[in-house]
Amino acid sequence: EVQLLESGGGLVQPGGSLRLSCVASGFSFSNYALSWVRQAPGRGLEVVASIIHSGGSTYYADSVKGRFTISRDNSKNTLYVQMNSLRAEDTAVYYCAKNGANHYYYGMDVWGQGTTVTVSS
Amino acid sequence: DIQMTQSPSSLSASIGDRVTITCQASQDIANYLNWYQQKPGKPPRLLIYDAANLETGVPSRFSGSGSATDFTFTISSLQPEDIATYFCQQYDNLPLTFGGGTKVDIK
């Protein structure tokens, strides 16, 4: 069974940092692109960052560019996102999602349960 | 960015009813469209990929059609477990974008 398990969410003050992790199992991790997708309370879905299978290319939404860094460790089947200079508008549930192929141009076919990030003083 | 416009934003239907949701893209996306189901407190679940292909394990009462800019998602006979919000997503171009969602509940 394909599984994605996120961790690292929590309450952080504006301007603070958090690192989210996502441990994957049940598929050949190094063959697939992965993404972080967030959903703010009562709002829609936004892809904030993606990374290809090898880690050699990344994508960032304009809203997080320069503040978030996505990375992966294929030896540990783990995806990360380092989130710096957090703002109130970053408050959301963050999902780790598996893209359908090795590049992030493909839609997501499996999602983790999500981890909640709250940015507030 | 490609805008995905879903309608309606919400609907109420009776058990057994046929339910139809539409998604319109702001430009031609061929058939690069997914449909997802999301229940409260849960992550999205892929139902349909490439506009019309049923994901493994998804009941056959769900279907999708369309191409270019106009797409339709149908539940042929609404069941109680289908109460959820449904989203479309295009993956023709970056950034991958989602429709605003359609909340389906029981009349």
Beta strands across the sheet bearing B70-75:
B4-7, B19-25, B70-75, B62-67
Please report the pLDDT score of residue A41 as a whole number.
83
Contact A105 B94 (CB under 8 A): yes
Angstroms from B91 CA to nearest CA on chain A: 6
Comparing CB atoms, the residue among B34, B43, B49 nearest residue A113 is B43
Averaged confidence pLDDT in chain B? 97
Angstroms from B87 CA to nearest CA on chain A: 9
Please report the pLDDT score of residue A43 as a whole number.
79
Q: What is the pLDDT of residues A41-95, one digit of tens each?
A: 877 899 999 999 999 999 999 999 999 999 999 999 999 999 999 999 999 999 9
Distance between CA atoms of residues A30 and B60, nearest Å = 32
pLDDT beyond 80 at A8: yes
Contact A108 B99 (CB under 8 A): no
Residues 6+ apart with CB under 8 A from B6: B21, B22, B23, B24, B87, B88, B99, B100, B101, B102
CA B35-B38-B44 angle, to 5 degrees, is 70
